[in-house]
A = this chain, B = another copy of it.
Amino acid sequence: MVGEILGREVRVTIDDVARAAGVSRQTVSRAMNGKGEISAATRRRVLATIEELDYRPSVFARGMRTQRGGTLGLILSDIANPFFPAVARGVFDAAAARGSSVVVHNTDAHAGRESAAARDVLERGADGVIGFFEALADEDLTEVHRRLPLVVADRRAPEPGVASVSSDFATGTRLAVEHLHARGHRRLGMLDGAVGVDHVRRHAFTDAAAPGSPVVTGPPTLTGGAAAADQLLAEHPAVTALFAFNDLMAVGAVRALRERGRRVPEDCAVVGYDDLTLAADLDPPLTTVHTDKYELGRTLVEVLDDVVRARRDGSAPGVAPHRLLPATLVVRRSG
């Protein structure tokens, strides 16, 4: 087998290619990286030789010079929340298309883990980072941005120079509240996720719902939603509709409601956010705000690419791209 002796791998190096193609190493480098001038004929020949020898440049040797490892960091808070895998799929596909691998870090929305993840990604010479940062302060984001192309996901950028992509939470939340009002609900409550620094959903809820509408905060998980719903209903028994930070909390709320003998939606309506794949198959089918999560993932990589390119071509520290993905309401049975 090529490049192998007695079961022990022997690296095919750039020198082997150079020798075989009858050129210098530099020319081989140029041929594969498309940098510098090189005649079409030479390049073709070199590329053919590369193919033939099955040469793969060493990530390490290259990284040593360039400080770039052809990876891309994806930092998120909870891979077990189906929202993130849906986004990740878009990220993986887009990353694969641009030839990058993705290193994923799960932070549990813990500030220490978030900065450790960022640092790790940095040290590995990632081309850039996509971050769902929930706990890190704005200054820290800015610091990450200074060192590495960064795209902030589902959160306001800490400063205009930092790119961001997120669901249009304000619209989505407003849609949910208006729908509940249209259904005749007058006393709404919100189950907010105890993460992030933006609180866009909460503010939008507060704006759209009647003054003084209660908001209870908890972890953005099933059990967090159940506990928050319990607390909210205990303190505000007159509430007839709940808007949850995300679908997981919404499902937790449904569980809690039923355990208290409340029917959903008859006694209390529930609306979620995210529109997880299984939302339509739940009992009751979940009314929720939909955002295209795969598209979010793809967009994140696309924007990151813009940032990388901008930085390479003379780092014009102007206003970075900020994209808002449409949010629409999907009415099912729960609210």
Using CB atoms and an 8 Å cutoff, list the residues of chain A in contact with chain B: 7, 9, 56, 58-61, 63-64, 67, 69, 71, 79-80, 82, 84-86, 88-89, 92-93, 96, 101-106, 113, 119-120, 123-125, 146-147, 222, 251, 254-255, 276-278, 281-285
Contact = CB atoms under 8 A, between A and B. Distances in A.
Contact of A104 (B67, B69, B104): B104
Contact of A59 (B79, B106, B125): B125
A101 B124 CA distance: 9
Contact of A281 (B7, B251, B277): B251
Nearest to A104: B104
A157 B179 CA distance: 54
A41 to B, nearest CB: 29
A64 B71 contact: no
A58 B123 CA distance: 7
28 contacts: A7-B146, A56-B119, A59-B60, A59-B63, A59-B69, A59-B123, A59-B124, A59-B125, A60-B63, A69-B124, A71-B124, A79-B88, A80-B85, A82-B82, A82-B278, A89-B106, A92-B106, A101-B105, A103-B104, A104-B104, A222-B277, A251-B281, A255-B281, A281-B282, A282-B283, A283-B283, A283-B284, A283-B285
Given A123-B56, A125-B59, A254-B281, A92 B64 contact: no
A53 to B, nearest CB: 15
Identical chains in the assembly: 2
Contact of A60 (B60, B255, B282): B60
A45 to B, nearest CB: 24
Contacts of A7: 146
Contacts of A103: 71, 101-104
A184 to B, nearest CB: 25
Given A9-B147, A58-B64, A104-B102, A277 B92 contact: no
Given A64-B61, A281-B254, A281-B282, A104 B84 contact: no
Contacts of A147: 9
Task: Give the interface centre of A101, A125, A276, A284 by most chain B CB atoms within 10 Å.
Answer: A101
A34 to B, nearest CB: 20
Listed from nearest, the 10 A-B pairs whose CB atoms lie closest are A283-B283, A60-B63, A60-B64, A92-B106, A79-B85, A103-B103, A85-B85, A60-B60, A104-B104, A101-B103
Given A101-B120, A283-B284, A69 B79 contact: no
A239 to B, nearest CB: 21
A12 to B, nearest CB: 12
A283 B334 CA distance: 12
A84 B92 CA distance: 15
A104 B88 CA distance: 10
A119 to B, nearest CB: 8
A88 B85 CA distance: 10
Given A59-B60, A103-B104, 15 more contacts: A60-B63, A60-B67, A60-B125, A69-B124, A71-B103, A82-B278, A84-B85, A88-B104, A92-B105, A102-B104, A104-B104, A254-B281, A276-B278, A281-B283, A283-B283
